[in-house]
Structure 1
Amino acid sequence: MIRKRSVTIRGHRTSISLEDEFWQALQTIAGARGVSLSALIAEIDENRRPDDNLSSSMRLCVLEWLRSGKGL
């Protein structure tokens, strides 16, 4: 199921729609890295290309994490 969540990134409120599994994976990644989910999202936002969609960039973050062999 796709869930829409509101987050604040550098003082700007935005909504992000992602499947539950991606939200759970991002929470796991944030925990493994010792950062909050908000901090992880802000980092993803900061590092994405200007034309890239934030939701897509978040999915790619999960994919890169899995490809690195770190697992979930």
Structure 2
Amino acid sequence: MCELYASQNPDLYRVSKKSIRIQGVVTSLALENKIWQVLEQIAEQENLSVPQFISTLYQESVERHGAVDNLASLLRISCLTYLLNSTKP
């Protein structure tokens, strides 16, 4: 039943930590390798580095909503949104 999902390469869901600077503050993010890969795709499409993209997304989210309670979740949902929108005809 779950063959498609269970057969994934474990490296894709292994978590990697990276440090980035957001608004002058260094923060550490722990995300799955596949999420980092998708962030790289999004950033490249926007002609930004991954840290630049994350910082821009963070700032724009703060401007719209006043705060970002969970940056890692925002990034995962952003990747999911990107993937879902990129598969539309």
TM-score range, shorter chain: 0.7 to 0.9
Which blocks of at least 5 consecutive residues in structure 1 are unaligned? none
Structure 1 residues 12-23: aligned runs within 5 Å: 12-23=25-36
Please tell me the residue identity of whatever aligns with 1:39: Q
CA positional deviation for 1:51: 5.0
* Percent identity of equivalent pairs: 31
Alignment partners' CA distance in 2, 1:29 and 1:52: 22
Greater percentage in strand: 1
Contact kept in structure 1, 2:22 and 2:55, CA below 8 Å: yes
Corresponding residue of 1:2: 15
Q: Structure 1 length normalisation: TM-score? A: 0.85
Rg larger in structure: 2
Q: Aligned-residue CA RMSD in angstroms?
A: 1.8
The AA in structure 1 aligned to 2:70 is: N
Q: Which has the higher helix share?
A: 2
Report deviation, 1:35.
Answer: 1.0
Aligned residues: 71
| Larger relative contact order (CA 8 Å, sep ≥ 6) | 1
- TM-score normalised over the length of structure 2: 0.70
Does 1:60 pair with 2:77?
A: yes
Shift of 1:32: 1.1
Which consecutive residues of structure 2, in runs of 5 or more, have no partner in the other structure? 1-13
